[in-house]
Structure 1
Amino acid sequence: MAAVVEQPNRDRLVQPALHVSQETRSDIDISHRNPKMHGNAIAAEPEKAFPPTMDGADAEKAAPHEQDARHLGSSTDEQEDEQGPSSPTLPRARFLMLGTGLGFGLFLSMLDSSIVATSLYTIAADFKEIHGINWVALAYSLTYLSCPVLFARISDVVGRKEAFLAAFAIFIAFSLGCGFCQNLQQLIACRALQGVGGSGLYSLTMIIFPELTPDHQKPYVGGIIGIVLAVAGVLGPILGGILTEYASWRWVFWLNGPVGGVAALVFLFTWPEQKYLPVHDKRKWAEVDFLGSFLLIAAAVLIVFPFQNSSADVNEWSKAIFLAPLLLGILSLFALFAWQFYSERRWHGERAAAIPLVLLRNHVYAATILNTLCMGFPYLLSVYIFPNRFQVVNGQSPLYAGVMLLPMLGSTALGSAIGGLANGNKNRLFETVVVACIFMLLGCGLETTASSDLAIEPKLMGFLVFIGLGFGLSASSSTMIAIFESPIREHAPAQAIIAQVRTLGGSLGIAASSAILGVRTRSALTGVVTEAQLAGLGSKVSNLSPEQWTAIRTVYTDAFREDMIICCAVLTLALVCSMGIYRRNRPSIPEQEQNRYREERQRKETRDSETVLAEDTV
C-alpha cells in the first residue's frame, strides 16, 4: 500500500510524457518554450513511475512502452527541427489562383519599368519636349527602387494581404492618372507615385510567394519569379510599341486599370484563412525603422539623380547641381549604416531594421547584393536602349522595335527556368551566378561591334540571347539565395533588399546611358539638328536630310557602343563579387531550409526562456 500511496504524484509526471506523442507540433512547442515545465520533466525522469495498480512484472512490461513514448516525443521534436512548423497545405487550385493574382501584381509592376521604352519619343513629340523625357522612365524607377524595404516592414505590422492591396490601389490609381496627364511635368509626378505602388507589388510578391509555397516546391520559386520578371521586362517594350502604334501612348498606362483591378480581386478572394498562413512575429508600428527607411530612400534617390540630370549639360559634372545631391546621397548611405549599427546595439536586433545587419554578416548574401546591383545595371539599360536604337538608328516603328527584343525575352525565361531546375535539390547557386555573369559579359562585349548602318544587323539579335540568358540565371539564383541564406524572421527585408538593389542598378544604368547620350548629342549635333527635330525623332525622321540622318545615327551608335563598354566593366565587377558567394561544404537546398527552421526555433526558445525568467524575477 505504501507504494500505492506514493504513486499518484509520479503518475502525474509520466502522463505528459506519454501524451507528448499524441500532441500536435504546436503543443510540443508550448511545452518546450516553458522552462518550468521542461525543467520538472527532466528532474523527474530518473524516477521510474508506473500507474498505481502495476506490480513489478507489469512495471517491467510498461517500461519499454514508456521509453517508446519518450523516444517518439523526442523524434517529433527532431522532425520539427528538420522540417519547421507544420501547417495545412493550401489546396492546389486555390494556390494557383492566389499565385496568379500575385504574379500579375509582380508582372505589372515590372512591366511599367520598361513599357515606356518604345513610347518615349512619341510622348516627347506629343508634348514637344525632348529634354527631360527620360524622367518619364526614371521617375518610376527612382520610387520603384526606394520603397521595397519600407513596404516589407509595413507588411510585418499590418499584414501581408493589407499591404499588398494598398500597393495595388496606389499603383492602379496613379497609372490611370498618368493616362490623363496634359503635360510632361504632370506625367513625371504621376509616374513617381505610380512607382511607390509598384515597389510594394514587387517586394511583397517576392515575400508572399515563397512563404505560401509548400516546402518541397520552394527551390523552384526563384525560377518562377525569374520568368515573370523576364517576361515583364522584355514584353514591356513590345506591348508599349503595339499600344503606341495602334492606339495611343496613354493606353500604356490605362491598361493597368482593368488588368490590375481583376488581379487584385483574384488575390483578395483567394487569400487563405489563418490556418494556411505561416506563423511569423507580428511587429508594432513603434518597431518599424522609419529613420533607416528614410535614409535608404534618400541615398538611393540622391545618388541616381545627378547622373540622370547631367545629360542636360556637357559641363554639368563640375557643377553644384551634380555634386551636391551626390555627396548628400553618399552621406545618407553612411548615416544609414551608422544608424543600423546603433539600432542593433540599442535594441539587440528586436527592432525591424531597414537593413538588418545579420544579413550583411552572411558573406553569401552580402556578395549577392553587390552582384545583383551590378547585374541589374546592364539588363535594364539594354531593355531601354535597344528599342530606342532600333527606332532612331534603324528607322523602325515602336512596335517593330519592341518585337526585336523577343530573343532576349525567350532566353531570359529559359535562363530563369534553368536556374530553378539546376538548384532544385543540390546547391549550385555559386556556379549559376558565375555562369550568369559570363553570359552577360559575353553578350555586352559582342554588342560593341554594332555599326551605324540603317539595316538591322541580325547578329545583334543573337547577342541579345546571351544577355537574356545571363539575367534569367541571375534573377532566379538571387531570389533563391535570399530565401535560403536569410533567417526566417528577416526573410521579408532580405527579398526586398535584393529587389531594391536590382532596380537601383538598373536605374543607374538608365541614368548613365542618358548622360552619355546627352553629352554626345550636345557635342556632335549642336548646329546640325534643331531642338524641334530632336524632339520629333520618334515620329518625324523622314523630315531630316540625309546628312542629318547620318549624323544622328553615328551619334546614337557611338553612345550605344560606349554604353556596352561600361556594361562590360560593371559585369567584370559583378563576376569578381560573385566569388564571395562560394562556400565550402555547401549543404543541399533541403538541408539549408531545415537549418533555417532549426535556427528560428532556437531563437524563439531563447526569447521565450528569457521572458519567463524575467517574469519570475519580477
Structure 2
Amino acid sequence: MKASDVSGKKTVLIMIGVMLSVFLSALDNTIAGTAMPRIISDLKGIELYAWPFTIYMLCSTISIPIFGRMADLYGHKLTYFSGIAIFLAGSVLCGFSSNMPQLIVFRGIQGVGGGTLIANSFIIVGSLFPPAERAKYMGFVAAVIGLASIIGPMLGGVITDGLSWHWVFFINIPVGLGALSFILFALPGGEARSVKRKIDLPGAVTFVIALVPALLAFTWAGRIYAWSSPHIVGMFAFSAVMFIIFGLIERKTVEPLIPLSLFKNPIFNLCIVDVFFVSCLMFGAVMLVPLFVQNVLGANATTSGAMIMPMTVSLVIGGAITGVLIAKTGRYKIFGLAAMLIIVAGAFMLQQIDEQSSSSRIILTLTILGAGIGITMPVFDLASQNAFPQSQLGLVTSMIQFSRNIGGTIGSAILGSIMLSHMNAGIARLSETNLSPVMKGLVENSQFAVETQLLNRAGVGLSDVHQLLGQLKTIQANSIHQAFLVSFWVGVVGLAAILFLKEIPLRKTNEKMEVHSRS
C-alpha cells in the first residue's frame, strides 16, 4: 500500500484512524497510574501494585511480533479490527473487576488488543510514505503516543476523583469506536498474500515461554523473593535456556517470527538498545511520580495527574518538531544525541526530588524529561526503518515497538521492585523501634502506603499519628528516590550508546535497496 494507491482524502482518514488507534493503546499504558491508589484501596493488594502495569505491557509486547506477522498473512484491516475488538472487551471487563487478580487478567486481555494496534500503526505509515518524507508523519504519530502516555495519568486522576476508577476503563469505548469507524471506512482490505504462508507457531510459543519467566523474575526479585533466591535464579535460568531454544528454532525456520539476521545490523541494534532505555525511564516516571505526589506530598489523584501535564506538552512538541526537522535536513543522529543529553539532565533532576520539593520543581523536571523523550520517538523508528529494504518494513517496525514495550515492562517491574524493596526494609527498621503494639501493627500492615487513614482510625493520639505519618512518608520518599537514581544511570548508558549510531542518507522512495549498513 502506498499513498498513490489511495485518494488524498482516504490517506488523511487512514492517518486519523492510525493516530486514534495508537492513542487508544498508549493511553491505557498510563491512565490507570493515578487511579491505582484508589483501586488498591477498594480491591486491596498493594503487593500487586505493579502488576496491572506489568501484565498490560507484557501481553502487548508478546502480541506485537505475533500479530505483526498475522497482518502480513491476513491483512492490516482484519488485524486492526481484531485488535480493537479484543481491547474494548478487555476494557469492559476491567471496569467490572471486583478484585486485583481479576483486574490483572483483564488488563492482560487489553494488552493483547493494544499490542495488535501498535504493531500495525507504524507499518501503515511506513507503507504510505518513503523515509525522507516519512519522518514528519512518524513525528505526529509518535507525538500522539507520547500525548496518550502522559495525558493518561491526568485523565485517570480526573476520572477517578470525578466519577470512579471503573470509568478509567470504560472511557476507552468511545475512543475505540471512533478509531474503528475510520479504519473500516478508509483502510483498503484484501491485503492478504496470495501465497499461503505459515505463522512460526513453534517459535511464537517458545518465545512466550521464554519471556514470561524472565518478566516474573524481574517483578518478584527484591519484593517476594531475594535476587539470589532459588526461585529467581531458577526463573532466569529457565528463561535463558528457552531463549537459546528459541534461537535454534528461528535459525532453522523458513519464515521465523524474529529472524536472527536482523541483529547483524549495527544501526538496528543501537536503536533497539536506546528505545529500550528511554522506555524504561518514561514508564518508570509515569508509574512512580503520581505515587510520590499522592503518598509523599499528600496531593489527590487529579493534582498528581495535572503535574505531569507539562511533560505531555513538551513530549508532543518535541516529537512533532523533530519529525519535521528530520524531514527537512535528512539528518537524525544529531537529534538523537541532543535528546539523550536532555533525558540525562531530566533524570538527574528527577532523582533529586524529596519531601521538600515544590510542585514547580517537579513540573520543571518532568518538562525537561518529556522534551528529551519526545525528540527520540521519530529518531529511532526512522533510523532503523531506513537501514533495511522496504520488504522488511513490518518486521523491523514491529521489533522497535517490541523493544519499546519490553523496556516499559521490565523498567516498570525493576523500578517498582527497587521501590518496594527499600520500602519494606524501611518498614522493618521502623517496626523494630520502641512503638506501641497498635502502632507497630499499623506499620506492619502492608496497606499503610495507600491507606494512611488507617492511622486515624486506630485510636491512637493525634501527635503520634502525625509523627508516624512523617516517618512513613520519609520511608516512601527514600524508596522512590532509589528507583529514580537507577533511572538516571539507565539514561547515562543510553547516552553512551547513541554515540556509536551510524547515520546513512534517508531514502526518497520506497524502492528496494541494499542493506549497506551492516558491518
Whichever residue aligns with residue 186 of structure 2, its letter is T
With normalisation by structure 2, the TM-score equals: 0.90
Q: Which residue of 2 aligns with 1:102?
A: 18
Distance in 2 of aligned mates of 1:466 and 1:518 = 27
The answer on whether the counterparts of 2:94 and 2:169 sit within 8 Å (CA) in structure 1 is yes
Q: Deviations over 1:96-119 (max 9, x none)?
A: 222222211111111111111101
Tell me which of 137, 141, 161 is aligned to 1:225. Answer: 141
Q: Which moved more, 1:370-379 or 1:232-241?
A: 370-379
Superposed displacement of residue 253, structure 1: 0.8
Tell me the secondary structure at the aligned position of residue 395 of structure 1.
Answer: coil
1:149 corresponds to 2:65: yes
1:572 corresponds to 2:511: no
Distance in 1 of aligned mates of 2:155 and 2:2 = 43
Superposed displacement of residue 321, structure 1: 2.4
Distance in 1 of aligned mates of 2:2 and 2:413 = 47
Whichever residue aligns with residue 257 of structure 1, its letter is I
Tell me the secondary structure at the aligned position of residue 512 of structure 2.
Answer: helix
Q: Which residue of 1 aligns with 2:258?
A: 355
Q: How do 1:438-517 and structure 2 match up within 5 A?
A: 438-453=341-356, 456-517=358-419
Aligned CA RMSD, in angstroms, stands at 2.4
Tell me the secondary structure at the aligned position of residue 302 of structure 1.
Answer: helix
Superposed displacement of residue 282, structure 1: 5.3
Q: Which residue of 1 aligns with 2:434?
A: none
Whichever residue aligns with residue 465 of structure 1, its letter is T
Superposed displacement of residue 89, structure 1: 4.8
The answer on whether the counterparts of 2:219 and 2:414 sit within 8 Å (CA) in structure 1 is yes
Whichever residue aligns with residue 181 of structure 2, its letter is L
Superposed displacement of residue 281, structure 1: 5.6
Q: Which moved more, 1:158-167 or 1:521-530?
A: 521-530
Tell me the secondary structure at the aligned position of residue 248 of structure 1.
Answer: coil
Q: Deviations over 1:283-337 (max 9, x none)?
A: 6342x22222233333332222112123533x52222321222222222223333
Q: Which residue of 1 aligns with 2:239?
A: 329
Going from structure 1 to structure 2, the CA distance change for 1:537 and 1:436 (only over 3 Å counts) comes to farther
Identity over aligned pairs, percent: 23
Q: Which runs of 5+ in 2 are unaligned?
A: 432-439, 458-463
Tell me the secondary structure at the aligned position of residue 440 of structure 1.
Answer: helix
Q: Which residue of 2 aligns with 1:208?
A: 124
1:310 corresponds to 2:221: yes
Q: How do 1:66-215 and structure 2 match up within 5 A?
A: 88-213=4-129
Going from structure 1 to structure 2, the CA distance change for 1:98 and 1:554 (only over 3 Å counts) comes to same
Going from structure 1 to structure 2, the CA distance change for 1:177 and 1:237 (only over 3 Å counts) comes to same
Superposed displacement of residue 255, structure 1: 1.2
Tell me the secondary structure at the aligned position of residue 33 of structure 2.
Answer: helix
Distance in 2 of aligned mates of 1:168 and 1:158 = 16
Tell me which of 285, 295, 310 is aligned to 1:382. Answer: 285
Distance in 2 of aligned mates of 1:329 and 1:505 = 17
Whichever residue aligns with residue 482 of structure 1, its letter is S
Tell me the secondary structure at the aligned position of residue 318 of structure 1.
Answer: coil
The answer on whether the counterparts of 1:115 and 1:236 sit within 8 Å (CA) in structure 2 is yes
1:293 corresponds to 2:204: yes
Superposed displacement of residue 525, structure 1: 1.5
Tell me which of 192, 196, 217 is aligned to 1:284. Answer: 196
Tell me which of 247, 266, 271 is aligned to 2:163. Answer: 247
Tell me which of 488, 509, 513 is aligned to 1:599. Answer: 513
Tell me the secondary structure at the aligned position of residue 316 of structure 1.
Answer: coil
Going from structure 1 to structure 2, the CA distance change for 1:427 and 1:395 (only over 3 Å counts) comes to same
Tell me the secondary structure at the aligned position of residue 47 of structure 2.
Answer: coil
Going from structure 1 to structure 2, the CA distance change for 1:518 and 1:363 (only over 3 Å counts) comes to same
Q: Which residue of 2 aligns with 1:537?
A: 451
Going from structure 1 to structure 2, the CA distance change for 1:253 and 1:322 (only over 3 Å counts) comes to same
Distance in 1 of aligned mates of 2:115 and 2:76 = 14
Going from structure 1 to structure 2, the CA distance change for 1:336 and 1:245 (only over 3 Å counts) comes to same
Whichever residue aligns with residue 291 of structure 2, its letter is N
Q: Deviations over 1:243-268 (max 9, x none)?
A: 11010101111111232123212210
The answer on whether the counterparts of 1:373 and 1:504 sit within 8 Å (CA) in structure 2 is yes
The answer on whether the counterparts of 1:517 and 1:559 sit within 8 Å (CA) in structure 2 is yes
Superposed displacement of residue 132, structure 1: 1.0
The answer on whether the counterparts of 1:128 and 1:535 sit within 8 Å (CA) in structure 2 is no
Superposed displacement of residue 576, structure 1: 2.4
Q: Deviations over 1:576-601 (max 9, x none)?
A: 22133224xx32x2xx244x513389
Superposed displacement of residue 273, structure 1: 6.4
Distance in 1 of aligned mates of 2:111 and 2:195 = 25
Distance in 1 of aligned mates of 2:260 and 2:282 = 28
Going from structure 1 to structure 2, the CA distance change for 1:86 and 1:417 (only over 3 Å counts) comes to closer
Going from structure 1 to structure 2, the CA distance change for 1:165 and 1:439 (only over 3 Å counts) comes to same
Going from structure 1 to structure 2, the CA distance change for 1:209 and 1:234 (only over 3 Å counts) comes to same
Tell me the secondary structure at the aligned position of residue 32 of structure 2.
Answer: helix
Superposed displacement of residue 186, structure 1: 1.0
Whichever residue aligns with residue 553 of structure 1, its letter is K
Superposed displacement of residue 427, structure 1: 3.2
Q: Deviations over 1:368-388 (max 9, x none)?
A: 111111111111101111111
Whichever residue aligns with residue 327 of structure 1, its letter is A
Whichever residue aligns with residue 412 of structure 2, its letter is I
Tell me the secondary structure at the aligned position of residue 580 of structure 1.
Answer: coil
Distance in 2 of aligned mates of 1:431 and 1:399 = 37
Q: Which residue of 1 aligns with 2:268?
A: 365
Going from structure 1 to structure 2, the CA distance change for 1:541 and 1:364 (only over 3 Å counts) comes to farther
Whichever residue aligns with residue 569 of structure 1, its letter is W
Going from structure 1 to structure 2, the CA distance change for 1:297 and 1:221 (only over 3 Å counts) comes to farther
Q: Which runs of 5+ in 1 are unaligned?
A: 1-84, 602-618
Q: Which is bigger in relative contact order (C-alpha 8 A, separation at least 6)? A: 2
Q: Deviations over 1:438-489 (max 9, x none)?
A: 1111111122221223x63422211212211111111111121233222212
